[in-house]
Structure 1
Amino acid sequence: MIGIIGFGRFGRFMAKHLMEDFKVRIYDEIDSADSIRSAGAIPVDLSDVCKQDVVILAVPISRMKFLLEQIAPHLKENALVIDVCSVKIYPVQWMEKILPHFTSILACHPMFGPDSAADSLVGHKIFLCPVRLKTPDYRKIKAYLEAKGLVLIESTPEAHDRELAFSLCLTHFIGRGLSACGAKPLQMDTEGYKRLLHILNVVQNDTWELFYDMHRYNPFATKIRLAFMTAVQEIEKELEA
């Protein structure tokens, strides 16, 4: 039995796929029980969702620490807690500090979402870091994910955040900039411009909360963002020379 805390866009997307193989119970402090039932899952309260063998945390990064403090007293012995945050250093530190010693911990970041994987999971990447997890259990999880066609990337939280400062944070920053300057499809477009618009399409369905959180909680994001802005300013100076 799997429990999911959080029924936003990614929580719904994840539940849809997991329900193909497991019974899924969901807790969300905002979404109604009827909405969860209509998706085919079972709505439960917070204490009940914590009683499941696997508890997946699908909440905004800024709410993660408080949620961990809420669920810690209710988790069953040997429960596996999985986070799916788009940053890793801070969530891993919080989980190690707050969760009971008898729980297993897997840090996870599916590097896709409801839009990019709308047609299939096959070929999409997922980051994994077994923070506190027995090897046989970890092997089962990897085998399950590989059977779904996912490409596994095993690394450290620091390595994850360093790379994602470029591949995620900077991409979203550029996408927000394109949106703010009014970029849109044009009759006389170019292949390069269409590729730029693809970035815009990737980020436009994500919330501002996700955007703020990935920049606030990734310790490498500010440096990369400022380096990009400096580079743009230098290019502007060249044009004005």
Structure 2
Amino acid sequence: MIGIIGFGRFGRLTTRYLARDFKVNVANRKGNSSAVKTLGGIPASLEKVCAQKYIILCVPISTLKNVLMDIAPIINKNAIVVDVCSVKEAPIRWMESLLPETVSILATHPMFGPDSASKSLQGCKIFLNNTRIDKAGYEKVKNYLHSLGLILIEGTPEKHDSQIAVSLALTHFIGRGLEEFGACPLDIDTEGYKRLLHILGVVEHDTWQLFLDMNRYNPYARQNRRKFMDAMKKIDAQLVKQVE
């Protein structure tokens, strides 16, 4: 019933949760069949996954377009395709243009990951955009997500990308900066410093590719980075003028 393409960190998390309720076929180019089975999934070919009713694309944004071109000729014409990318405008354009018109499309961005949702999905957020799916199918998916304890946020891809450029891309930018700075736990610290280290902890397990993708494909990321850096330079200039 469910097929998953991609078995990275998020693909593993998705397999683990969905396999509790469904038969989950997983196409994994690295061939980690034992890992798939351990999480309750069924190792499968790309053709087998593309024959399922629900097909979840757990692949990096940078590879999504090629994956769509690969599956378009062999996909179940009545399938519902779900992406999980952290950017929405570009992936939606690609899915609409490359997938057969009979295929339904549900664009999503789970606002959680393997670390934050390691024990439960209760209270975690997921963004949804009803891109190309009938009302009955959409409501069925929403009802299931609600049953997992997820908080659903619906909106346009533009609204998503403009806000996520701050809440995700900027957070990762700051976290990478803390990493480059060499921030680490100290004996003499403050609660504020501990919160800074928490930001570092959020990003240190994520790949550099994810960081690149959220900045390369989000049309609002660059301007927010520049705005933040300008603010830091302004504050630094004020300190130089008044203190040094």
* TM-score bracket for the superposition, by shorter chain length: over 0.9
Measured on the aligned residues, the alpha-carbon RMSD in Å equals 0.8
- Relative to the length of structure 2, the TM-score reads 0.97
Q: In structure 1, what is the Cα distance between the partners aligned to 2:191 and 2:31?
A: 41
Q: Give the structure 1 partner of residue 155 of structure 2.
A: 155
The equivalent of 2:32 in structure 1 is 32
Amino acid at match of 1:105: I
What residue is the counterpart of 1:44 in the other structure? 44
**1:131 and 2:131 equivalent?**
yes
The 2-side partners of 1:111 and 1:65 are apart by 22
* Structure 1: runs of 5+ lacking an equivalent: none
How many residue pairs get aligned? The number is 241
- Show structure 2 runs of 5+ residues with no match: none
Alignment match, 2:23: 23
Deviation digits for residues 21-47 of structure 1 (CA, Å, limit 9, x no counterpart): 000000121242232223221111111
Aligned to 1:236: 236
How much has 1:239 moved relative to structure 2? 1.1
Aligned pairs for 1:101-116 within 5 A: 101-116=101-116
Matched-pair contact (CA < 8 Å) for 1:7–1:31: no
Q: 1: distance between equivalents of 2:45 and 2:119?
A: 32
* Paired letter, 1:28: N
In the TM superposition, 1:76-95 aligns within 5 A as 76-95=76-95
Match of 1:172 in 2: 172
Secondary structure at the aligned position of 1:97 is classed as helix
Q: Distance in 1 between matches of 2:208 and 2:119?
A: 25
- Residue 77 of structure 1 and its aligned partner are, at CA, apart by 2.0
Deviation beyond 4 Å, 4+ runs, structure 1: none
Normalised to the residue count of structure 1, the TM-score between the two structures is 0.98
Query: Cα deviations across residues 42-98 of structure 1 (Å, max 9, x unaligned)?
Result: 111111110011000000000000100000011112100000000000000000000
Please say if residues 176 and 200 of structure 1, whose CA atoms lie closer than 8 Å, have aligned partners that are also in contact.
yes
In 1, Cα distance between the equivalents of 2:6 and 2:189?
40
- The one-letter amino acid of 2:159's match is A
Quick check: 1:184–1:197 contact (8 Å CA) kept in 2? Answer: yes
Cα distance in structure 2, aligned partners of 1:139 and 1:52: 19
Question: Once the two structures are aligned, what percentage of the paired residues are identical?
Answer: 56
Residue type of the alignment partner of 1:36: V
Query: Do structure 1's residue 225 and structure 2's residue 204 form an aligned pair?
Result: no
